[in-house]
Chain A
Amino acid sequence: MAETLTQKIIAHAAGRDAVAPGEIVTCSVDLAMIHDSGGPRRVQPILEKLGVGVWDPDKVVLISDHYVPAVDAESARILDVTRKFAAEQNLPNFYDMQGICHVVLPERGHLKPGMFVVGGDSHSPTGGAFGCFMFGIGATDMAGVLATGETWVRVPETIRVEVTGGMPSGVSAKDIMLALCARLGMDGGAYQVIEYAGDTISRLPMAERMTLCNMAAELGAQTGLIAGDQTTAEFIRKAGADPGEVDRWQNDPKAPVRETHHIDIGALGPQVAAPHSPANSAPVAETAGVKIDQAYIGACTGAKLIDLQMAANILEGRTVATGTRLLIAPASQKDTAAAASDGTLATLTAAGAIMMPSGCGACAGYGAGVLADGEVCIASTARNFKGRMGATTSQVYLGNPYTVATAAVAGEIRDPREFLE
């Protein structure tokens, strides 16, 4: 029987020859990622109740990103709990204030094809870009994993998204996802696996593939997945790790799919999601002219080096409009350093961008840069739910980094292609 990549990874983790979609199996977890918000402060009380510690400290990665740097006594306390947990549990892989978990995890070489990984965060599907089966679980589930190194999973089916054609100027992976959110809706993923394939995907760098898998969460999928290739292996080697058997972790030809969706990227322009859902996406022309107070380039799905470079493309030789503010929180310390050395950072600051620390920042309203009542923002983040970025009456639009930078310069939402040569 032809098998999907998902079936192969789950069967391997379950110690079985094969598994069928719909079957429930128990898997050994290769890696568990937790962060300051959903991690130690929520799982520690459960571990204490059970009277056990972390099953294997080498297989746990702890990252502080949601509350960094502390903005008040409560966030400082949460970070203190996080740091003490790392010390008490002897966790060798603790990245403190190094950037957003979903970006830091692969950047430090922790992911490779074929792994079965759980993350204590809803955007954990990001890891699927590396050919591993990685999905998000809640705190109770995570405590169980940390105590035992195991979890159960119901083998999902695969929904295939085939993307073909050359990426037009002013368009990025974010637009593919916003268009898919509009087309399939926020439950179109039906808690199955969304697997991306096609010639466009083969040419995409890892950072863009991560954006595709990240936002599988917005489609209600259990996770996103992209089979590994040369690009994957190179990224992992550069991160100082061994990519392992990339050729082994592939779909069989004729592996079963539940449904297939096609996207011709050549025909796709920049998309913007209107408040308060990514499913309210439409071509940028629909929202052009909306005045904005704040433009925000940040989050695991919108502030990696490549995103900063897209913004710099627009901002080169231009300045942020009067009455508008542009906040930029790079996704990781490494991305910040890379942007500093290739000149991107200088372009951003020359245009008047306010640089912020690497971390979740204003994305989910935990850090600095949140919105006041009635304020309008356009962000390169993944979600624009009501009140997520600040006051409940604030309005958040989502767009790719070109579109966000264009809005900062124009003071209103505009088609970024007007600003690109």
Chain B
Amino acid sequence: MRTSGVIAEAKVWAYGDYIDTDVLAPGLYMKSSMEVMASHCLETVDPDFVPNVNKGDVICAGKNFGMGSSREQAAQSLVFHGVVAVLAPSFGGIFYRNAINHGLMVLVCADAPRIATGHHVSVDATVGSVYVKETGMQYSCEPMPEHLITMLADGGLVPHLERRFRT
């Protein structure tokens, strides 16, 4: 689980390069509810993901994760399943913004493709470190500033602003 930018021993789902927004939130289901949409998340590359993913899991992927359309459902589908972070060498620019605004941590990590499905990672986003339990390897990722970590912990931009204006 995640507290203040720290993720402890989260189970990994590993994917390749160019996982696009149609794979994360298929256009075919754009008019359906979030629940229906999310039930098709990643099915074209990994039918095991939806039935087996657990709250607190993370995704480690190849380059340009989330490329494609600006649909916010791509990030929301992963949040729906309880995924707390995505690590990848690069992201689709709009997905990157949408993910953070919806409370999904996204970390630029050049070594993310070295991490395999079933591994367990511990992440500290404030300092930018990634530790893989099974291999004992330590990688670095681009750190995330304090206030964005707070925004992620609040559940995204709107809940974060709600808190800010309430106090």
Contacts and interface: CB of A to CB of B under 8 A. Distances in A.
Question: Is B a genuine binding partner of A?
Answer: yes
Contacts of A22: 108, 142
B72 A25 contact: no
Interface in B83-115: 90-94, 96-98, 100-102, 108
A222 interface: yes
Contact of B72 (A24, A138, A147, A222): A138
Contact of B162 (A24, A26, A50, A122): A50
A138 B94 contact: yes
A220 B93 contact: yes
Contacts of B157: 140-141, 144
Contacts of A122: 70
Interface in B25-73: 64, 67, 70, 72
A122 B94 CA distance: 10
Interface string A21-52: 01011100000000000000000001001111
Contacts of A49: 158, 162
A190 interface: yes
A50 B161 contact: yes
A29 to B, nearest CB: 15
Interface string B139-167: 00010110110000000011001101100
Contacts of A85: none
A119 B164 CA distance: 24
Contacts of A220: 67, 93
B139 to A, nearest CB: 16
A327 interface: no
B104 to A, nearest CB: 13
Given A24-B145, A25-B145, A138-B70, A190 B90 contact: yes
Interface residues of B, number: 27
A419 interface: no
A137 interface: yes
A144 B97 contact: no
A141 B99 CA distance: 11
Interface string A137-156: 11011011001100010100
B96 A154 contact: yes
Contacts of B161: 50, 144, 147-148
Given A50-B161, A50-B165, A140-B157, A24 B144 contact: yes
A141 B97 contact: yes
B122 to A, nearest CB: 22
A163 B165 CA distance: 48
Nearest to B64: A187
Chain A CB within 10 A, most for which of B98, B108, B158: B158
Contacts of A187: 64, 67, 92
Interface in A110-147: 122, 137-138, 140-141, 143-144, 147
B105 to A, nearest CB: 12
Nearest to A152: B148
Nearest to B151: A152
A51 B93 CA distance: 30
Given A187-B64, A191-B92, A138 B158 contact: no
B97 A138 contact: yes
Contacts of B147: 26, 152
A147 B165 CA distance: 9
Contacts of B100: 152
Interface of A: 22, 24-26, 46, 49-52, 122, 137-138, 140-141, 143-144, 147-148, 152, 154, 187, 190-191, 220, 222
Given A24-B148, A51-B165, A141-B101, 16 more contacts: A22-B142, A24-B144, A24-B145, A46-B158, A50-B158, A122-B70, A138-B72, A138-B98, A138-B101, A140-B102, A147-B161, A148-B161, A152-B147, A187-B67, A187-B92, A190-B90
8 contacts: A24-B145, A26-B145, A141-B97, A141-B157, A154-B96, A190-B90, A191-B96, A220-B67
Interface of B: 64, 67, 70, 72, 90-94, 96-98, 100-102, 108, 142, 144-145, 147-148, 157-158, 161-162, 164-165
Return the 7 tightest CB-CB contacts between A and B, nearest first.
A191-B93, A144-B157, A50-B165, A24-B145, A140-B101, A50-B161, A222-B93
